[in-house]
Chain A
Amino acid sequence: MHIAPIDPRALRRHIVRMAYAGRSAHLGCALSLVEICAVLFGGVMRYDRSDPLASERDLLLLSKGHGVMALYACFRELGWMVDEDVRNYLANGTRLRGVSEADIPGCEVSGGSLGHGLPVAVGMAFGLLRQQSERRVWCIVGDGEMNEGSMWEAMLFASHQRLGNLTVIVDANGFQAMGNTEEVLRLEPLAAKFAAFGFATVECDGHDIPAITAALHGGGDGQGRPRAIIARTVKGHGISFMAADNRWHYTRLTAETLAAALEELR
């Protein structure tokens, strides 16, 4: 099937409009994974644009559920959501919440509590492999989320069971809620850790579309090793005054900062 490329600037416009409408935090951690989502939905993942619940779709799980506005932005571009969903984001009684929830078509997992999405993704990949299905599982995790012990439990199992149909994408934006990931709880060398856990691991610039595309398109190693892509990203990327500024993990947009952001994204 033909899948049209998705414009990261269009995704970022949806994100800042949603964040403003919903007075939402977690802007920076959505902006860092825009290009990753754009590449996944722009031709890497197998899915049916007319049906987010199509039975033979690949499964994309946003384990770092707080970045969900990036997914919603994709859904808006794909027509799975309408502009009203953007304008009324987080309004009383609306269906979209501030973290990924499994009951929203396209979301697949409830990722608001960190350290849940990857074990579920691993279970799905294990099940699909047993069913000899061609479907693949893609799981976007946060570098801050890698603090959770359940992530490493799931990685052990994925490697042990040779889940070659699983790709873990780390949105390595270098920040977590209260600071720099290296200062809070040292994670590096992250790629070496994934490799040591048995993952076929590559690093790439997480905002460089051709680089991400090459990393995600790279097939398995033929030995059934699960894959890990360490996507080096910048929190708040794409909007100059948010980039690499962790205050946008929790700062709300004002009419002025919204206008300034949209101006940059024209």
Chain B
Amino acid sequence: MRHALSPLLLEAAEQDERFLVLSGDHGYELFDGLRTHYPERFVNVGVAEQSLVGIAAGLCRVGFRPCIYGLAAFVPMRVLEQVKIDLCHGSLPVIMLGDGAGLVYSVLGASHQCGEDIACLRSLPNIAVYSPCDAHEFRACWNEARQASHPSYLRIGKASPDEMHPGPLRGTGPVVVCEAADARARGVVVATGAMVRMGVQCAREHGIRCISVPRLKPAPVELLELLSGVQRIAVLEEHVSSGGLWSLLLEMLQSAGVTGHVSVEPIGLRDAFTQTAGDHQHALSEHGLDDGQIADRLTRWLNARPARMP
């Protein structure tokens, strides 16, 4: 998914003279194309995330369309209050890219890991929150954010070479990424971001439906229709379940009056920091979320109760 970003930055610079990228001394070769063709459109403000957001807000207020880049642990997490006041309060069309979201920076530990950004940003007014799973979703979210008249956040999680969608998407609403013959029978996996990969893999194995949710705010209301009649849902995310997609889905079901008969299983990060060094899969394993654990958990979840009779 990350590979989709560089050409999109270049394209935006070509199309819109107001577009520029600001970074807090992160990004490396991600910006090589932009810096080669439009060197003046890339501004490294230094290791200064607070003023990074303020400077972007000031640029936006005099007519620019800035995109700010950082590791998700820093943008938006370190600068949440700047995001709230400088961007959201004035509803400024600034795009935030939060890279390495989730536990991508496994060896660097809690300071660089980020499992709470969706929960935090979802509570702020005026901002759109996206968690794309592949290059197709990323392009759809990016294009929507560039057209927006309000701030947007694109969460960039663990890069996977695989595309989850066969081709370009028309919007940012929830999409069925693995179809099943009887979509409602045994249960449905709902996933976002990097976890869609495992969602699809397990859904194929068990012959159940998997839905990807790239846009989390504004709420993906179409999800309710896709889940109509479904009684068992597992929600897969590399983010704390509380405040993340799991919470969002519960809120949507409650608001729609769908209660009592639907069980929604959280398969997300635990309420804990990781404790040891290791690779990404190892970090996930501390949360019961490495590939094998997810497969086991979904299998147990599917076998826990007999399938609902239609």
List chain A positions with a Cβ less than 8 A from chain B.
59, 102-103, 108, 110, 112-113, 115-116, 118-128, 130-131, 133, 149-150, 153-154, 156-157, 160
Q: Cβ of B58 and Cβ of A122 under 8 Å apart?
A: yes
B48 on interface, CB distance cutoff 8 Å: yes
- Across chains A and B, which 5 residue pairs bring their CB atoms closest together, nearest first? A123-B58, A119-B54, A123-B55, A153-B51, A153-B48
Q: Is the CB of A124 within 8 A of B58?
A: yes
The answer for the CA separation of A128 and B57 in the assembled complex, in Å, is: 13
B68 to chain A, nearest CB (A): 11
Taking the complex as formed, is B169 at the interface, i.e. its CB lies under 8 A from any CB of chain A?
no
Task: Return B96 CB to nearest CB of chain A, in Å.
Answer: 15
CB–CB B45/A157 < 8 A: yes
Q: Compute how far the CA of A59 lies from the CA of B63 in the bound complex, rounded to whole angstroms.
A: 14
Instruction: Give the total number of A-B pairs whose CB atoms are below 8 A apart.
Output: 88
Q: How far is the CB of A99 from chain B (nearest CB, A)?
A: 11
Set of chain A residues within 8 Å of B60, measured between Cβ atoms: 123
Q: Are A154 and B51 in contact (CB under 8 A)?
A: yes
**With contact pairs A149-B50, A156-B48 given, residues A119 and B85 touching in the complex (Cβ less than 8 Å):** no
Cβ–Cβ contact B55 & A122, under 8 A: yes
Give me the interface of B with A, judged by CB distance under 8 Å.
40, 45-46, 48, 50-51, 53-64, 81-82, 85-86, 89-90
A118 to B57, CA, bound (A): 11
Most chain-B Cβ atoms within 10 A of its Cβ — which of A112, A124, A133, A149?
A: A124
Q: Which residues of A contact B89 (CB under 8 A)?
A: 102, 110
Check A126 against B63 for contact (C-beta < 8 Å): no
Q: Which residues of B contact A131 (CB under 8 A)?
A: 62-63
Task: Report the bound CA distance from A181 to B37 in whole Å.
Answer: 48
B46 touches A156 (CB 8 A): yes
Given contacts A123-B59, A126-B59, are A113 and B54 in contact (CB under 8 A)? no
Q: Are B62 and A124 in contact (CB under 8 A)?
A: yes
**Alpha-carbon distance A82/B192, docked complex (angstroms):** 52
Q: How far is the CB of A120 from chain B (nearest CB, A)?
A: 4
Assembly CA distance A139 to B48 (angstroms) = 20
B54 touches A123 (CB 8 A): yes
User: Is the Cβ of A123 less than 8 Å from the Cβ of B50?
Assistant: no
Q: Which of chain A's residues have a CB closer than 8 A to the CB of B58?
A: 119-127
CA distance A108 to B57 in the complex (A): 11
- Whether the Cβ atoms of B90 and A103 lie closer than 8 Å is yes
Could you name 26 residue pairs across A and B whose Cβ atoms are closer than 8 Å? A108-B61, A110-B89, A110-B90, A115-B50, A119-B50, A119-B51, A119-B58, A123-B54, A123-B57, A123-B59, A125-B58, A126-B59, A127-B61, A127-B62, A127-B64, A150-B51, A150-B82, A153-B46, A153-B51, A154-B54, A154-B55, A156-B46, A156-B48, A157-B45, A157-B51, A160-B46
A residues near B53, Cβ cutoff 8 Å: 119
Would you give the shortest CB distance from B263 to chain A, in whole angstroms? 42
* Residues on B with beta carbons closer than 8 Å to the beta carbon of A133: 62
